Chains A and B, each alone.
Chain A
Amino acid sequence: MNRTNALERHLLTRCYNSDNQIEELLKTRYSLTGDQKPVIHFTQYKGQAKTKSLLHSEPNTSTGIITRERKVNTRKDLQVYIKQTLDNQKKVIKKIQAHNRKKTSDSNPFPLSKFIKLFSIPQYEEFIGLNNLWQNYMQDLLFVNNNNNANNDKSKPLHIPSMTTLLPKLSTADYNGCLLTVIQSKNSNLVGLRGIVVWDSQHSFIICVPSKEDSKEWNETKDDFSPSEMLGGFRAVPKQKSLFAFDVILPKQSTNSNDDEDEEDECVGFTMIGSRFEFRAVDRSGKKFKSHSVDGIL
């Protein structure tokens, strides 16, 4: 017989370590003179476990198993955390307002940093790292082929791929960590607000906004700020009827010279239409978008 018994061999490799053992088992199973077993005995594999990739490896502790409850709890905890932070911010803002009302000529400034610590209000600076990660992710996503070309020919200026390749990628990309600016909204108070996306929920973006002079474009030269601008922290911006702007920094072309320190970075701007983004980030990744009547956009 010259059958290879591929199927059985494959199954047996899961149970036995050595090839010799498998060979012998198969031989006895189909030998004319041997015992011609009608059954195969699969034992538990005792060999060395394959090392899994980092993404798929799970923590060894018994609590590391992700159960459904744990998932639900995580989501709930996040919701609770965001809600709590927003509530705390309101409290601090009330305190600032009360302080301002009481303010007489000799009063000292409001102890803002103390209250930020007390209520553990997240600050913009904590999320800058996230934004830098996001920029790298975008550069990898959008200009991946260009980098390869750039290695061959560094003197050529960066060629941005056409819109037909860029925009579909962006529409399914992840926006946690993106620096968004609200450029149009039904709520005119939100216009000009900007911050790093902390959580991309179905109907709104939770963004962490910078405080004081960074808070809005037209605040750069101002001296006095409203309580909420002083505080920073989280904001929930509804996606519906808003337009968001964001910039993607182009990857640096020349790495050989040192004098490009003062050379200005270049970027490409994009606008996100909030009304068309009312999906959870998970659903959006595999979504087939369709054009609709534009009446509801703005």
Chain B
Amino acid sequence: MLYDLNVPWPVNDYHTKPTDVELYTLKNTIVTLHTLGYDHIAINFQITESVKIPLNQTHLINPIDIASLQKSLSPQFPSIKLFSRLTIVIYDPAKLQGLAKLQAQFDILAIQPLTEKALQLSTTNLDIDLISFNLGAKLPFYLKHKTIGSAVDKGIKFEICYNNLISGSIGYANSPTNPIDNIQFIKKNFIYNVLQLVRSSRSKGLIISSGATLPLQTRNSEDILNLLRTFGLDQSRSKSCVTINPERVLVNGRLRIKSFKQTIVMDNNEISSNSIIDNDKEDPKKKTDSNGYKKRLDSTSSGRLLKKQRKR
């Protein structure tokens, strides 16, 4: 099973709605990823810390309409599993609050720290799954092994988003986050930053994701493994970047919603190997509602056993 945990949602705030064209491109990207072998795909909603989140209206917090996307894709591609992800770009960690309310709405929570203080805080205090960096720009701080290593020990993974490398300078120059950055240095910065990340994390706890806004920006796992080998990761480590590590990010994020402190998880699906991360039974607007998990006793084997013995 392959995972791609970063397919950007077309809009970056709560006011605008994605146009039909944008949604169409998004669907195309998802389908392309699926044909390349990815079946767990997370849609990434990226906001800066200044964006006001409607914390009081819980049904508005998650703008990603997973249900309708899944509905339009599932007839043709039933094996695609979509998840929602929130990435918050933070400068000043003090401004970030209400994270607890967001936790129940998104499957994955990620932070993109822009200062060393923000990185420090997100590794120590915040309950998040993933840290991503803007790898196209020069990082304003040095990545220390101590900080990164402690985050990896806590189970937080670090994201390498390869779209900077392949989308080219044009794609990046359009990005609203960093318009003035020198276009020709993007690839150079990217390679330098990834090497820094690999060094400071001792090649542990890394995941790789596409960040593809267009279908053509996706790559298959073979290409990714080759790319990672050039960064000095060995075969097994680079393989875990697309398989095990992203799975753990998803498990971590999903357990936050579906379980109580990782003890008891809602739902048991004996057939699917990964009932922990599945989200097909829940109400996407109210993820903690448990009425979707009701099932017939006859539907499972242990249920049939239970029924048989209660009849006696």
Binding site for B on A (CB under 8 A): 128, 131-132, 135, 159-164, 166-168, 170-171, 179, 181, 183-184, 194, 210, 214, 217, 220, 243, 245-247, 249-250, 264-273, 276-277, 289-295, 297-298
Question: With A179-B302, A181-B302, A247-B300 known to touch, is A273 a contact of B259 (CB < 8 Å)?
Answer: yes
Task: Enumerate chain B residues within 8 angstroms of A249, measured Cβ to Cβ.
Answer: 297, 306, 310
Are A183 and B261 in contact, with the CB atoms below 8 A? no
Task: Enumerate chain B residues within 8 angstroms of A166, measured Cβ to Cβ.
Answer: 266, 290
B236-276 interface bits toward A, Cβ cutoff 8 Å, 1 = contact, 0 = none: 00000000000010011001111111111111111001011
Are B268 and A269 in contact, with the CB atoms below 8 A? yes
Task: Enumerate chain B residues within 8 angstroms of A272, measured Cβ to Cβ.
Answer: 263-265
Are B255 and A294 in contact, with the CB atoms below 8 A? yes
Interface residues of B in 280-308 (CB under 8 A from A): 288-291, 293-298, 300-303, 305-307
Secondary structure call for the B interface: mixed
Task: Enumerate chain A residues within 8 angstroms of B269, measured Cβ to Cβ.
Answer: 269
Task: Enumerate chain B residues within 8 angstroms of A289, measured Cβ to Cβ.
Answer: 260-263
Question: With A161-B290, A271-B268, A294-B252 known to touch, is A247 a contact of B306 (CB < 8 Å)?
Answer: yes
Binding site for A on B (CB under 8 A): 127, 153-155, 248, 251-252, 255-270, 273, 275-276, 288-291, 293-298, 300-303, 305-307, 309-310, 312
Task: Enumerate chain B residues within 8 angstroms of A247, measured Cβ to Cβ.
Answer: 268, 297, 300, 302-303, 306
Task: Enumerate chain A residues within 8 angstroms of B310, measured Cβ to Cβ.
Answer: 132, 135, 249, 265
Cross-interface CB contact of A128 among B262, B267, B275, B309, cutoff 8 Å: B309
User: Complex formed: what's the CA distance from A276 to B259 in Å?
Assistant: 11
- Write the nearest CB–CB distance from A237 to chain B, whole angstroms: 15
Task: Enumerate chain B residues within 8 angstroms of A214, measured Cβ to Cβ.
Answer: 305
User: Complex formed: what's the CA distance from A50 to B71 in Å?
Assistant: 67
Cross-interface CB contact of B276 among A131, A179, A271, A290, cutoff 8 Å: A271
Top 9 nearest A-B pairs (CB, nearest first) are: A293-B155, A245-B268, A167-B260, A289-B261, A217-B301, A269-B268, A171-B263, A271-B265, A265-B297
Are B302 and A217 in contact, with the CB atoms below 8 A? yes
Task: Enumerate chain B residues within 8 angstroms of A298, measured Cβ to Cβ.
Answer: 251
Question: With A163-B266, A292-B155, A293-B153 known to touch, is A268 a contact of B290 (CB < 8 Å)?
Answer: yes
Task: Enumerate chain A residues within 8 angstroms of B276, measured Cβ to Cβ.
Answer: 243, 271
Are A160 and B291 in contact, with the CB atoms below 8 A? yes
- Write the nearest CB–CB distance from B289 to chain A, whole angstroms: 6
Secondary structure call for the A interface: mixed
Are B248 and A273 in contact, with the CB atoms below 8 A? no
Task: Enumerate chain A residues within 8 angstroms of B265, measured Cβ to Cβ.
Answer: 270-273
Task: Enumerate chain B residues within 8 angstroms of A269, measured Cβ to Cβ.
Answer: 266-269, 293, 295, 300
Task: Enumerate chain A residues within 8 angstroms of B262, measured Cβ to Cβ.
Answer: 273, 276, 289, 291-292, 294, 297
User: Complex formed: what's the CA distance from A294 to B249 in Å?
Assistant: 8
Cross-interface CB contact of B309 among A131, A265, A290, A291, cutoff 8 Å: A131
Cross-interface CB contact of B298 among A181, A183, A264, A293, cutoff 8 Å: A264
Task: Enumerate chain B residues within 8 angstroms of A161, measured Cβ to Cβ.
Answer: 290
User: Complex formed: what's the CA distance from A298 to B155 in Å?
Assistant: 14
User: Complex formed: what's the CA distance from A131 to B309 in Å?
Assistant: 9
- Write the nearest CB–CB distance from B31 to chain A, whole angstroms: 29
Task: Enumerate chain A residues within 8 angstroms of B309, measured Cβ to Cβ.
Answer: 128, 131-132
User: Complex formed: what's the CA distance from A174 to B304 in Å?
Assistant: 23
User: Complex formed: what's the CA distance from A295 to B259 in Å?
Assistant: 16
Are A179 and B155 in contact, with the CB atoms below 8 A? no
User: Complex formed: what's the CA distance from A167 to B21 in Å?
Assistant: 42
Are B251 and A160 in contact, with the CB atoms below 8 A? no
Question: With A292-B262, A295-B248 known to touch, is A179 a contact of B305 (CB < 8 Å)?
Answer: yes
Task: Enumerate chain A residues within 8 angstroms of B273, measured Cβ to Cβ.
Answer: 184
Q: Which of B155, B251, B288, B305 has the most CB of A within 10 A?
A: B305
- Write the nearest CB–CB distance from A229 to chain B, whole angstroms: 14
Q: Given contacts A267-B303, A273-B263, list 5 more A-B pairs with CB under 8 A.
A: A167-B263, A246-B268, A265-B310, A269-B269, A269-B295
Q: Which residue of B lies closest to A247 (CB)?
A: B303
Q: Which residue of A lies closest to B302 (CB)?
A: A181
Are B288 and A217 in contact, with the CB atoms below 8 A? no
Task: Enumerate chain B residues within 8 angstroms of A128, measured Cβ to Cβ.
Answer: 309, 312
User: Complex formed: what's the CA distance from A163 to B127 in Å?
Assistant: 19
Task: Enumerate chain B residues within 8 angstroms of A292, measured Cβ to Cβ.
Answer: 155, 262
- Write the nearest CB–CB distance from B195 to chain A, whole angstroms: 24
Q: Which residue of B lies closest to A214 (CB)?
A: B305
